[in-house]
Chains A and B, each alone.
Chain A
Amino acid sequence: MINFVLLISRQGKVRLTKWYSPYTQKERTKVIRELSGLILTRGPKLCNFVEWRGYKVVYRRYASLYFCMCIDADDNELEVLEIIHHFVEILDRYFGSVCELDLIFNFHKAYYILDEILIAGELQESSKKNVARLIAAQAC
């Protein structure tokens, strides 16, 4: 299961956070600080996974944005890497060649889209078309 989703810019600025397991505000700040220290410093050719406090964090960089998902130790990392990409592809389709600014100013829309893809930390829909249809129906 996915415990949380983080979008951090290369400068360590938070662009989006979604917590599926309960974390207090204090813990959240700590987690973000720890993980940005861990992930932003990693070189380009290394694994897209980091082991962290008994969990695994899968991250992927798109332009200057890092998409991170924290998963349990027995989850399939490659699959989660593709879930991230699935999310990005849907964002891209929705915003039309998405860029970081779209997410900065429309973070609530990004949240709505994420809610259609993941629910309670599990992938709920793997068809891009279905997600797009629902988002369009909601027309927010």
Chain B
Amino acid sequence: MEQLRTIGRELAMGSQGGWGQSKEFLDLVKSIGEVRSKAEEDRIIARELEHLKRRLADPDVPRRKMKELLLRLVYAEMLGHDASFGHIHAVKMTHDESLPLKRTGYLAVALFLDERHDLVILVVNTIQKDLRSDNYLVVCAALTAACRLIGEEAIPAVLPQVVELLAHPKEAVRKKAVMALHRFYQRSPSSVSHLVSNFRKRLCDNDPGVMGATLCPLYDLILEEPNSYKDLVVSFVNILKQVVERRLPTSYDYHQIPAPFIQIKLLKILAVLGSGDKQASGHMYTVLGDIFRKGDTASNIGNAILYECICCISSIFPNPKMLEAAAETTSKFLKSDSHNLKYMGIDALGRLIKINPDIAEEHQLAVIDCLEDPDDTLKRKTFELLYKMTKSTNVEVIVDRMIEYMINITDHHYKTEIASRCVELAEQFAPSNQWFIQTMNKVFEHAGDLVNIRVAHNLMRLIAEGFGEEDEGADSQLRSSAVDSYLRIVGEPKLPSSFLQIICWVLGEYGTADGKYSASYIIGKLCDVAEAHLTDDTVKAYAISAILKIFAFEIALGRKIDLLPECQTLVDELSASHSTDLQQRAYELQALLGLDKNAVESVMPADASCEDIEVDRNLSFLNSYVQQALENGASPYIPESERSGVISVGSYRSQEQQETSAHTLRFEAYEMPKPSLPLATSQTSMSTPTTDLVPVTEPGYYKEDHQTSKSQPPGDAVSGEFGVKLCLDGVQKKWGRPTYSSSTPSSLASSQQTTNGASHSDGGGSSSQPRESSYGSKRQQGTEVSAEKQRLAASLFGSAAAKADRKAQASRKTAKDSPSTEKVATTNVTAQPVKEQVIPAAPPPDLLDLGDEPVSSNPPSADPFSQLEGLLGPASAAPVLSGTPATSTSKAPDLMSIFSDDVPTGVASGSTDPTLGDVNSTSSHKGATAVASKKGPSLQDALQKDATARQVGVTPTGNNPNLFKDILG
């Protein structure tokens, strides 16, 4: 059998198999097709490359043969092998006179090299020449290569010719010239900035292909500065209108839709131009409405256009009618069976809720379904949506979910992203400090090495500072709970370095503070940490410092403490460490052990991590020294500003600054510069440190030397106060403190203040109330959505629902709703008076929510009971969908499933013929012929190809049954 196959192959080789390549090449491809392992493939290619090296160096190789050798080289490189020895031959071939050879040369060069490669310089000249060729095909080839190979420095060499080609009689050349200019623009915007008018001109090109290509550079240009292209809005809208009305040649139709790719590009451009521009947006509504009306939700490309339309609408100036259409399409996407459409729907929803947060409410169950979907892509997209709609009422649920998901992923890139999102949300919306610390612990435990070290410092600071004015008791309780949890966790293997640093610091600072744990116990733990992480100097440094602190506190308390043997070994080891930092810390520890109680207390005061280290700017401790020096006859110091006539710019500036605050001229010396009063009160703390610090470096300051310290206290107090402010500033505003968003209007901030007094109870209460009501409504309708899902929905969307409800209560006075819903509402009122009363308790946090969304508040028009209905709507719809999937799939046959007839989809794709799947899973030969026979018109063709294929010898082996199947099944 094996022999027969070989003979058959030999025969086939003789006839070249109809692919126009030599036997050698076919052999190569074939043998690569048959290899069982990567090592074998590498061996074959290595042999081939040796061979090619010899052949290419041979000067007598005919040019025709050369072309094939080059293609073999491309093949080898495509498989990931280094064929750089042959690059120069590809460059040489671009010089060839014959078009096929030249094109092969350009193809190979474009695949081998990129703009950073040294050989490109040799190609530029050829490209230059070829751009002037009479044969437009040569010009096309050169332009294609130029797009790939011309880097920033080479642009001027070819730019004039490319610009000339914009007026070439052949549209293919014009189109490529436009694309080449676009590429040049991306490489170096300044080099083509003077050519913008050309793009505008090409927009009116007779050929739709050229016009479509021009949209690419214009899109980039408009992104850069939309305002200089506002005059084109009407033109773009007109073009889009014409496309939608099928004025373009039918050859641009794609699946019965007129020029969809051009439509999408135009929609992208309009989205940018209409953003925040009411007038420009006004031009667009009609055509957008048209697209929605004509929208084809049955085909993929139709949905692509609709999606782009939604993006456009969510970007331009909002229009209620358009938003409604967009929301409707979004809900179609979300209700679809196709994962792709659900994905797009989630994305679209994320865009729409920025304008109207209430839209999400209707889709809560769909969103939760996506969140629990086994498809990772969909899940991640849903997390992105949740991230966008997080607020203080649902942050706990969302962040918990995110962390849960984060724990199990291995993809570094995404883990980093989701960890940083968790941190960001927790910092922004945390309902309580307790929760914040717990959450951060989890993030650090599972992704500690991936988050910014800044976050670790923030966490330590939070634990240290406590929560400002609130009572000391809560702070110490929090600290001891942190200590508890860290002691529990610290023994676990493989904790990230930054997390260990936090643990060590907290244990050192507060490990013994509440007296629950003995000093030697904590020290033992810390020694273990240092021992377990021999290679991590930072962790060791944190550990040894923590030990030092504990010793210091113990000594200060007058307790006697022995150096444990393991601690002694650690100290010995570290004092001999290669790291000078570790050495110093170890020696410091040893030195501290020898000090007496009072000295230790002043060196290491207990719980002083938040105390500001006061900098004596006057250097007052030098006063006696100065005094002595003066007595000894030294000349006194004269400040720069008082020196003969020299008024430095610096002192002038400080003078001016003083003037603005004092409004009087002063001629005597100035005291220590204080920040002017208005600055201290109103300016954000960001800018105050600079105004505070700048004068210090200026000469005026030195006068302080002999000034009495009378002026000192106020100045110091101010700077001290500022010090605190400054500390908080680098930190993102967080942990549920009402001050977190400095940009929120003051009225909102004040309302936050009031709610925050009881932040703990608020967080719990507001999420549980809607849940309650959702239960009620569920029972009422008798739908069977799982209780758990409902609960999740309520906790995610609850606040939104409550808000809608509250808003609606206001609107009920105007009573503009349709009579039917109104009736429902009133019956509901009578049926559930209790709930009615419960809900109004929620408003305060909602007010907070409104502040969170930077959105123009919508006119109150929602139904008062939309909260209940919102839950019911999709709930009743969902079972219908899942119950009768057949109707929806047959109604909207998915193109995807038709074309991707892979073996297991037989069942999955409802619309394709189930027999197809069966056929595929039978033996490969049968499968191939069966598929071929399915193809109707090209049956002959396919059979023939199948036969030749088998002759060539790439007979389907077991591992590739589908090799012969036509790609378009």
B175 in the interface, Cβ–Cβ < 8 Å? yes
- On whether A126 and B960 interact (CB within 8 A), knowing A61-B902, A111-B107, the answer reads no
Q: Are B300 and A81 in contact (CB under 8 A)?
A: yes
Q: Are B908 and A44 in contact (CB under 8 A)?
A: yes
Give every chain A residue within 8 A of B260 (Cβ-Cβ). Answer: 79, 82, 126
Chain A minimum-CB-distance residue to B81: A25
Q: Would you call the interface of chain A mostly helix, strand, loop, or mixed? A: mixed
How far apart are the CA atoms of A16 and B82 in the complex, in Å? 16
Q: Are A82 and B300 in contact (CB under 8 A)?
A: yes
Give every chain A residue within 8 A of B374 (Cβ-Cβ). Answer: 46
- On whether A53 and B79 interact (CB within 8 A), knowing A47-B375, A119-B147, the answer reads no
Stretch at the interface among B229-237, B861-869, B937-945: B937-945
Give every chain A residue within 8 A of B381 (Cβ-Cβ). Answer: 51
B249 in the interface, Cβ–Cβ < 8 Å? yes
Interface residues of A in 58-95 (CB under 8 A from B): 60-65, 76-79, 81-83, 85-86, 88-89, 91-92
Interface residues of A in 82-137 (CB under 8 A from B): 82-83, 85-86, 88-89, 91-92, 96-101, 103-108, 111-112, 115, 119-120, 122-130, 134, 137
Distance to closest chain B CB from A83 (angstroms): 7
How far apart are the CA atoms of A44 and B82 in the complex, in Å? 35
Chain A minimum-CB-distance residue to B299: A82
A35 in the interface, Cβ–Cβ < 8 Å? no
Chain A minimum-CB-distance residue to B259: A126
Q: Are B137 and A96 in contact (CB under 8 A)?
A: no
Q: Are B343 and A99 in contact (CB under 8 A)?
A: no
Q: Which of A22, A49, A53 contacts B343 (CB 8 A)?
A: A49
Chain A minimum-CB-distance residue to B99: A138
Interface residues of A in 1-38 (CB under 8 A from B): 9-11, 13-14, 16-20, 22, 25, 28-29, 32
Stretch at the interface among B208-216, B754-762, B826-834, B874-882: B208-216
Give every chain B residue within 8 A of A120 (Cβ-Cβ). Answer: 147-148, 179-180, 182-183, 186
How far apart are the CA atoms of A46 and B377 in the complex, in Å? 8
Chain B minimum-CB-distance residue to A58: B340
How far apart are the CA atoms of A16 and B268 in the complex, in Å? 30
What mask results when residues 64 to 81 of chain B are scored 1 for a CB within 8 Å of chain A, else 0?
A: 000000010011011110
How far apart are the CA atoms of A103 and B307 in the complex, in Å? 33
Q: Which of B80, B213, B252, B376 contacts A14 (CB 8 A)?
A: B80
Give every chain A residue within 8 A of B959 (Cβ-Cβ). Answer: 11
Give every chain A residue within 8 A of B212 (Cβ-Cβ). Answer: 125-126
Q: Are B375 and A126 in contact (CB under 8 A)?
A: no
Distance to closest chain A CB from B517 (angstroms): 45
Q: Which of B77, B104, B378, B949 contacts A101 (CB 8 A)?
A: B949
Chain A minimum-CB-distance residue to B342: A47
How far apart are the CA atoms of A68 and B638 in the complex, in Å? 75
Give every chain A residue within 8 A of B213 (Cβ-Cβ). Answer: 122, 124-125
Interface residues of B in 346-398 (CB under 8 A from A): 374-378, 380-381
Give every chain B residue within 8 A of A129 (Cβ-Cβ). Answer: 251
Q: Are A46 and B183 in contact (CB under 8 A)?
A: no
B527 in the interface, Cβ–Cβ < 8 Å? no
How far apart are the CA atoms of A14 and B374 in the complex, in Å? 28
Q: Are A108 and B74 in contact (CB under 8 A)?
A: yes
Q: Are A92 and B967 in contact (CB under 8 A)?
A: yes
Q: Are A97 and B377 in contact (CB under 8 A)?
A: no
Q: Are B967 and A63 in contact (CB under 8 A)?
A: yes
Q: Are B340 and A11 in contact (CB under 8 A)?
A: no
Give every chain A residue within 8 A of B251 (Cβ-Cβ). Answer: 127-130
The size class of the interface chain B forms with chain A is 35 or more
- On whether A107 and B75 interact (CB within 8 A), knowing A79-B264, A81-B340, the answer reads yes
Chain A minimum-CB-distance residue to B961: A64
Most chain B CB inside 10 Å of its own CB: which residue of A17, A32, A103, A127 = A127
- On whether A124 and B176 interact (CB within 8 A), knowing A9-B960, A62-B969, A111-B111, the answer reads yes
B202 in the interface, Cβ–Cβ < 8 Å? no
Distance to closest chain B CB from A32 (angstroms): 7
- On whether A47 and B80 interact (CB within 8 A), knowing A63-B901, A122-B216, the answer reads no
B116 in the interface, Cβ–Cβ < 8 Å? yes
Q: Which of B340, B949, B968 contacts A49 (CB 8 A)?
A: B340
B19 in the interface, Cβ–Cβ < 8 Å? yes
How far apart are the CA atoms of A85 and B180 in the complex, in Å? 24
Give every chain B residue within 8 A of A107 (Cβ-Cβ). Answer: 71, 74-75, 78
How far apart are the CA atoms of A123 and B264 in the complex, in Å? 12
Q: Are A82 and B19 in contact (CB under 8 A)?
A: no
What mask results when residues 89 to 100 of chain B are scored 1 for a CB within 8 Å of chain A, else 0?
A: 000000000011
B510 in the interface, Cβ–Cβ < 8 Å? no
How far apart are the CA atoms of A18 and B71 in the complex, in Å? 15
Q: Are B967 and A98 in contact (CB under 8 A)?
A: yes
Q: Which of B21, B82, B377 contacts A50 (CB 8 A)?
A: B377
Q: Are B966 and A10 in contact (CB under 8 A)?
A: no
Chain B minimum-CB-distance residue to A64: B962
Distance to closest chain A CB from B498 (angstroms): 23
Give every chain A residue within 8 A of B33 (Cβ-Cβ). Answer: 13, 104
How far apart are the CA atoms of A1 and B215 in the complex, in Å? 13
How far apart are the CA atoms of A134 and B172 in the complex, in Å? 8
How far apart are the CA atoms of A82 and B380 in the complex, in Å? 23
Chain B minimum-CB-distance residue to A44: B905
B964 in the interface, Cβ–Cβ < 8 Å? yes
Q: Are A101 and B963 in contact (CB under 8 A)?
A: yes
Q: Which of A11, A13, A78, A86 contacts B307 (CB 8 A)?
A: A78
How far apart are the CA atoms of A48 and B895 in the complex, in Å? 13
Q: Are A49 and B899 in contact (CB under 8 A)?
A: no
Q: Are B965 and A78 in contact (CB under 8 A)?
A: no
How far apart are the CA atoms of A86 and B304 in the complex, in Å? 14
Q: Which of B103, B303, B962 contacts A138 (CB 8 A)?
A: B103
How far apart are the CA atoms of A97 and B959 in the complex, in Å? 23
Q: Are B343 and A122 in contact (CB under 8 A)?
A: no
Distance to closest chain A CB from B142 (angstroms): 12
Chain A minimum-CB-distance residue to B171: A130
Distance to closest chain A CB from B403 (angstroms): 19
How far apart are the CA atoms of A32 and B251 in the complex, in Å? 35
What mask results when residues 920 to 940 of chain B are scored 1 for a CB within 8 Å of chain A, else 0?
A: 000000000000000100100
Q: Are B144 and A10 in contact (CB under 8 A)?
A: no
Q: Are B413 and A54 in contact (CB under 8 A)?
A: yes
How far apart are the CA atoms of A89 and B342 in the complex, in Å? 26
Interface residues of B in 241-289 (CB under 8 A from A): 249, 251-252, 254, 259-262, 264, 268
Q: Are A88 and B303 in contact (CB under 8 A)?
A: no
Give every chain A residue within 8 A of B209 (Cβ-Cβ). Answer: 124-127, 130
B954 in the interface, Cβ–Cβ < 8 Å? yes
How far apart are the CA atoms of A8 and B954 in the complex, in Å? 17
B205 in the interface, Cβ–Cβ < 8 Å? no
Q: Are B960 and A99 in contact (CB under 8 A)?
A: no
Give every chain B residue within 8 A of A51 (Cβ-Cβ). Answer: 377, 380-381, 414
- On whether A108 and B104 interact (CB within 8 A), knowing A63-B967, A120-B182, the answer reads yes
Q: Are A105 and B26 in contact (CB under 8 A)?
A: yes
Distance to closest chain A CB from B750 (angstroms): 38
How far apart are the CA atoms of A16 and B307 in the complex, in Å? 30
Distance to closest chain B CB from A84 (angstroms): 10
How far apart are the CA atoms of A78 and B297 in the complex, in Å? 12
Q: Which of B78, B114, B116, B413 contacts A53 (CB 8 A)?
A: B413
Give every chain A residue within 8 A of B111 (Cβ-Cβ). Answer: 18, 111
Q: Which 3 A-B pairs have the closest CB atoms?
A: A64-B962, A78-B304, A129-B251
Q: List 8 A-B contacts (CB under 8 A).
A: A44-B904, A45-B908, A64-B963, A85-B300, A88-B968, A92-B968, A105-B19, A107-B75
What 5 new A-B contacts, CB under 8 Å, besides A63-B902, A98-B967, A125-B175? Answer: A60-B900, A78-B340, A82-B260, A101-B963, A127-B208
